Amino acid sequence: MAEGEQTRLVAWSREMRAVHERLREALAVTRRALADGEPARPATRELLLFCHGFCAALTAHHEGEDRSLFPAIAARHPELRGTLDRLRQDHSMIGYLLTGLSAAVARDAPPGELARHLEGVAAIMESHFRYEERQLLTVLETLSLDADPGDVFGPL
């Protein structure tokens, strides 16, 4: 294997870590927007901007994994199909939580309710990311996938 090929293969594991870190930071920024708001309405307006960006980025990340990455892994590592099914279930659960968060933001829910929504998303997202990294990073270091990282992991 040529040196450039090894760099390309290992890039998938690095890309997953980098995307997860950017999503963690986006969630932290969103949470700070809520915590820093004085009256509820300005905090909610700011949160709406952050939430739309964060929710869209996280959703695109999971859709890309479901569409491109997970089928490629399943084809090469059938023993991981149960793991991939669990990760897809997490994606569905996180999508449900993001829908609830978006609805709360859109109706100007009180800051306490918004904080609870964000806490729920944060808890499931972090658990999901850690499990995904434990189960897949080693596989990603050897995965040859001819795809654009933005299509696979979302446009972060």
Residue with tokens 């307006």: 45
The pair of structure tokens assigned to 12 is 């998938």
pLDDT in tens, the chain (156 residues): 444 444 444 478 888 999 899 889 888 887 887 777 655 555 556 666 777 788 888 899 999 999 999 999 999 999 999 999 999 999 999 999 999 988 988 888 888 898 899 999 999 999 999 999 999 999 988 888 887 777 778 776
Separation CA 115–CA 56 (nearest Å): 19
What is the C-alpha separation between 19 and 150, in angstroms, rounded? 10
What whole-number distance in Å separates Cα of residue 126 and Cα of residue 31? Answer: 14
DSSP, res 69? I
| pLDDT recorded at residue 106 | 83
